[in-house]
Amino acid sequence: MTASYDGAVADVPWQGDAVSLVEAFRRGERSPVEELQACYDAIDASDLNAFCFLDREAALDAARKSDPTLPFGGLPIGVKELERHAGWPDTDASLVFKDRIATSTDTMLQRAKGAGAVLVGQTTSSEFGGVNLTRTLLHGATHNPWKHGHTPGGSSGGSASAVAGGLVTLATGGDGGGSIRIPAGFTGLVGLKSTYGRIPRGPGAPNGNLTTTVGCLTRSVRDTARWFDVCNGHEGNDPLSLPRVEGWEAGLGSVPTRGLRAVVVSDWGSAVVSPAMWAVLEEAAEHLVSIAGLRRVDNVDTSLPRLGAAWSITGMAALAHELRDHWPACADMLTPEMRFGLERTGSLYGTEARGKFEMRRVELNRRMTEIFSAVDLVITASNPDVAFDAQGPLPDTFGGIVAGAGNNGVLTFPANIYGNPGISIPAGTVDGLPVGLQVMARHFCEPLLLELALAFERSRPWPHIAPRG
């Protein structure tokens, strides 16, 4: 289909959500080609360092041929650097692989393109997706559009910066330990970490320690729902991917929530959370309980086994295999966090450690099952504090409380190991920086989480992009 467009040339990228932009394309008020050019102009002028590769010629060709009747017809999107697209750089955000080129395209990107999305280019990531800030030797530091000099989080930091910074309306993300929810919380976006296997990975993606899911960072709940409409469903290259589920966007506003039991937890996973931030989030949690008709349940044992070391060691074992032909000669080409992780864990992974990790996973599975037998929802923070320095290092103090660098990510990775869904909902600001309310549910309950996020969005609309200074 070829559309005619009567609107003027776009001076800046669309500042609303993705769904409204597609609707503008359909009405002829906005042109995909004009929108794409506005995105590239904004990226070129931006100091956020959100993009590291741009595919201008292919994107322009796709925009010219776009069909606005498709779910994402003509929509420019960013693609996280760790995802594969044939012919694009395949660096894993590391100097070690700066010259590597991808030979295949991930299923999620194939489906997005089939639904009309125009792939602008790659958004920056943390190296190998290993930490919750986006700063690498290959690309430098990415900034939070709410406050330059602060991180947008990681590992999907470039995607979060691009969407919250007004460069594109939607960008892809991946979450192996919080890498969608953490940057969403830091930048005021919607970030859904789905049930494990909801959207296929690969082809060619290793299963690793069975923690990573893929998805998106968006400005609205309906944008996320539409993304899952397009991208979910089993694919043979990922045998652990789940059967297709229909009606994500159409079902918004119809999922029952009244009477569901919710526990509000400040120290989920034994985390230490900034008191100033928790004051904002606890009030937001009470608001969500009220508007959704939830029943708050107190005196629930929400203690979990400590799994940070096991999660880190198994992840580093996979990285050691990827770097097997380069390590230790490549040590100086790695970020301090990755280098330290490899040096620290190199002698720790073996059959005994693997067995211990699996027993820890079994213990976590048991505890999570017990918790979700007592409640339907767990409500906590997405991050232990607001966004920290873009250059790092990882903080060890949170709202004045010393808890160690290991406190980063503690709130998010239990859901990665257990495989259940969690969502980060924009819930306000502290010191001018966004804070995210994390809500978790049982496996396969993503529609419920989207429903709760929608109720919050309708009652307390959040800004689609960071305020401009």
- Active-site amino acid positions: 80, 155, 179
- CA angle at 36 for the pair 35 and 41, rounded to the nearest 5°: 95
What DSSP designation does 450 have? H
Continuous segment of H or E residues that includes residue 21: helix 18-27
Tell me how many helices (H) and strands (E) the chain has. Answer: 13, 15
Q: Are 162 and 142 in contact (CB under 8 A)?
A: no
Q: What is the amino acid identity at position 353?
A: A
Q: Cβ–Cβ contacts within 10 Å for residue 37, how many?
A: 19
Longest dimension (CA), the chain: 67
Q: Are strands 295-296 and 213-218 parallel, antiparallel or unpaired?
A: unpaired
133/143 Cα distance (integer angstroms): 10
Continuous segment of H or E residues that includes residue 122: strand 118-123
**H-state helical runs in 323-467:** 336-345, 351-374, 413-418, 446-459
2/295 Cα distance (integer angstroms): 51
Q: Are 174 and 423 in contact (CB under 8 A)?
A: no
157/172 Cα distance (integer angstroms): 10
- CA angle at 217 for the pair 307 and 390, rounded to the nearest 5°: 70
165 is written with which tokens? 């910074």
